[in-house]
């Protein structure tokens, strides 16, 4: 670890990793119901639909994708700001949820189990989940 990582930051990361391990002990993606996994970095939001029985990612989307970034520049008028929302914003999370749901539906996946990645279910994680539900994924 770098010197700039504080004890508080380490504690926070370790808490999330422990929570994720607890969730993963109970949530297992199968061929019928793959796992929709969320990961947030400081810069981007990622979502994957994973079949754990085969160890295969069926669909993925992130706010780093050009499709999602293109949607963010168009979303500037929606918020009333002159500046477009960032790739780590709730607007980006909603676009990621929509995109991963579309890609999963294209692969024939309609039901998933939700893996919040150890994050609290609010804000960006909730935005991804609700957008995926609106696009037709059931969980």
pLDDT of residue 85: 86
All structural domains of the chain, each given as residue ranges with its CATH number in brackets, are 7-134 (3.30.420.100)
pTM of the model: 0.84
The tens place of each residue's pLDDT in the chain, 139 residues long, gives 456 779 999 999 999 999 999 999 988 998 899 999 999 999 999 999 999 999 999 999 999 999 899 888 876 555 555 577 889 899 999 999 999 999 999 999 999 999 999 999 999 999 999 999 999 999 8
End-to-end CA separation in angstroms for the chain: 37
User: For position 78, what pLDDT does the model report?
Assistant: 52
In which element (H, E) is residue 22 found?
helix 7-26
Residue linked to tokens 């995109």? 99
What CA–CA distance (Å, rounded) separates 133 from 117? 18
Report how far residue 82's alpha carbon sits from residue 16's, in angstroms, rounded to the nearest whole number. Answer: 35
């Amino acid at each position: 670890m770098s010197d700039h990582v504080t004890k508080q930051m380490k504690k926070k990361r370790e808490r999330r990793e422990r929570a994720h391990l607890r969730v993963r002990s109970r949530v297992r993606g199968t061929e019928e119901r793959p796992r929709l996994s969320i990961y947030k970095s400081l810069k981007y939001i990622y979502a994957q639909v994973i079949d754990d029985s085969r160890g295969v990612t069926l669909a993925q989307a992130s706010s780093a994708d050009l499709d999602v970034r293109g949607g963010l520049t168009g979303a500037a008028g929606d918020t009333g700001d002159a500046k477009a929302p960032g790739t780590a914003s709730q607007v980006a999370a909603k676009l990621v949820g929509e995109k991963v749901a579309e890609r999963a539906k294209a692969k024939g996946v309609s039901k998933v189990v939700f893996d919040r990645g150890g994050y609290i279910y609010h804000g960006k994680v909730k935005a991804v989940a609700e957008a995926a539900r609106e696009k037709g994924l059931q969980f």
